[in-house]
Structure 1
Amino acid sequence: MGPHDLITKEDLEKFRALLLEDIRQIFQGNGTGPVAKKWLKSADVRKLLQISPGTLQNLRINGTLAYTKIGGTMFYRLNDIEKMLNRNPDSGSSTIG
């Protein structure tokens, strides 16, 4: 690409789509990589904590549980879940480990 080449909106949209797909593959992995063990999807978090989708949404909204949104998928760091549980020992949630 030379100094006189223009990047179009379509070029940026294609790049974004490719980048998001690469990031999804890294996070989802095959379930055995180090990233797959550190990041959980919403369904996994709900199952782990035995909470409803609405409760998980409330944890996100009020800032109790940090998350990262990639495309349309929410990811939660296992470390953040552990910190939340340690801050709220009487929440009735199950422990991790």
Structure 2
Amino acid sequence: MHHDRRETHPYIPNSVPEVRAAMLYAVDAASVEDFYVDIPDSLRLRRPLNIPAPIKAESDLVRHVEDLLARNTSTREALSFLGAGCYQHHVPAVCDEINGRTEFLTAYAGE
């Protein structure tokens, strides 16, 4: 499949026009707008998203994302009860050792 690189974005999946057209055809939709007709116009974003220009090198992309993430306060800096019990905590290495012991395998546990 040949496509014009100017019409695609590396971070937006299915942005190749031919792929998008095939997907719309598969769900019998005339346009992407068909998916949003039930959302009131007052709630819809009518301006382009502020998406940065493509970052070609993976190392530059990692640096960019890390810079964005550095703006956040992490759980290392502040106490947080978000996550419904999923949080950074210490798990002793012996737990992995015990968990991997074969004598704990039963016919019910699978291998």
Q: Which has the higher contact order (CA 8 A, sep 6+)?
A: 1
User: TM-score when scaled to structure 1?
Assistant: 0.28
More strand by share: 1
Larger radius of gyration: 2
